[in-house]
């Protein structure tokens, strides 16, 4: 593990995002240390995607702040993007660029040379098993193929932090298993993974730290063992989730 393991990489303090009278995120306080696999859980409407978009500088907070490696996520969003690999829930690409062209463009945006882009991309596309589709136009890609392409682009510059919104949605079980292995390897190399998911069994197997949101507020944060201490020591993550998050329902 890296010597930065205990360094706080993601800091969120008093984070609030409102749309008129609706509070999507309410006074959120959260920290994530380096080399963690962190899962952000919550029902639809909990505020997960809003939080991720604030971390990526896509949205400005109404109040409070979010920082990555000490950088303000909105004011310093260009520098933040150099340090972060981002996967949205629904990746969107220009339809008439080929997969290889999109990867090359992503690498060039991070200042990588053409030979370096090829060297870094090759093991990723081979692991994710879509090397044969690189010459296809993005318009011909399935949702799962677009997810694999976006994952490759997100990891190409070897960022210190990966922020992944529902990373396995659209992936088949084989690709999901491969992705889990990649994420564990990244964490072992000292990288940090921050991902949202609805799949509690995946979070239970993968994460070293997790947080649960409901109706825009943080209701629990800690290791699985710490959360079990709040419910029952033999509880599954599913039991913990329903006990703490309840049945909050709305649209995220």
pLDDT tens digit sequence for 194-249: 999 888 988 988 999 999 999 999 999 999 889 888 877 678 888 888 888 774 44
* DSSP label of 88: -
Q: Which residue has the tokens 């997790």?
A: 210
Q: With respect to residue 165, please indicate whether it lies within any of the assigned structural domains.
A: yes
Task: Write the DSSP assignment of 97-121 as a string of letters.
Answer: SBHHHHHHHHHHHTT--HHHHHHHH
Count of the separate structural domains present in the chain: 1
H or E stretch covering 225: helix 224-228
In terms of pLDDT, which residue wins out, 224 or 108? 108
Q: With respect to residue 2, please indicate whether it lies within any of the assigned structural domains.
A: no
Q: With respect to residue 3, please indicate whether it lies within any of the assigned structural domains.
A: no
Query: pLDDT tens digit string along 148-161?
Result: 999 999 999 999 99
Q: With respect to residue 35, please indicate whether it lies within any of the assigned structural domains.
A: yes
Q: With respect to residue 207, please indicate whether it lies within any of the assigned structural domains.
A: yes
Q: Dihedral of the CA atoms 211, 52, 20, 76 (nearest 10)?
A: 120
pTM confidence score: 0.91
Query: pLDDT tens digit string along 115-146?
Result: 999 999 999 999 999 999 999 999 999 999 99
HSE (side-chain half, CA atoms, 13 Å) at 199: 17
Residue 144 makes CB contacts below 8 A (sequence gap 6+) with 170, 171, 172, 175
Q: With respect to residue 1, please indicate whether it lies within any of the assigned structural domains.
A: no
Q: With respect to residue 237, please indicate whether it lies within any of the assigned structural domains.
A: yes
Query: pLDDT tens digit string along 2-40?
Result: 344 468 999 999 999 999 999 999 999 999 999 999 999
Q: CATH no. for residue 98?
A: 3.40.50.300
Q: With respect to residue 71, please indicate whether it lies within any of the assigned structural domains.
A: yes
Q: Which domain holds residue 219?
A: 8-245
């Amino acid at each position: 593990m890296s010597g930065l393991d205990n360094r706080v990489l993601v800091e969120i303090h008093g984070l609030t995002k409102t749309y008129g009278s609706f509070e999507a995120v309410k006074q959120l306080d959260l920290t994530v240390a380096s080399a963690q696999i962190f899962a952000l859980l919550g029902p639809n409407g909990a505020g997960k995607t809003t939080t991720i978009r604030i971390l990526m500088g896509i949205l400005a907070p109404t109040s409070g702040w979010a920082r990555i490696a000490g950088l303000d996520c909105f004011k310093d969003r260009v520098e933040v993007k150099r340090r972060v690999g981002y996967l949205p829930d629904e990746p969107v690409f220009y339809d008439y660029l080929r997969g290889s062209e999109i990867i090359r463009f992503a690498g060039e945006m991070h200042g990588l040379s053409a030979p370096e882009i090829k060297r870094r991309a090759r093991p990723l596309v081979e692991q994710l098993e879509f090397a044969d589709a690189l010459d296809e136009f993005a318009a011909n890609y399935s949702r799962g193929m677009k997810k694999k392409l976006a994952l490759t682009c997100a990891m190409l510059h070897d960022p210190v932090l990966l922020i992944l919104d529902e990373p396995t949605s659209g992936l088949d079980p084989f690709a999901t298993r491969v992705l889990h292995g990649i994420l564990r390897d990244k964490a072992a190399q000292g990288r940090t993974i921050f991902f949202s998911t609805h799949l509690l069994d995946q979070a239970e197997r993968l994460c070293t730290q997790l947080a649960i949101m409901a109706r825009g507020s943080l209701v629990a944060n800690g290791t699985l063992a710490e959360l079990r201490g709040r419910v029952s020591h033999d509880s599954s993550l599913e039991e913990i989730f329903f006990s703490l998050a309840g049945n909050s329902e709305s649209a995220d």
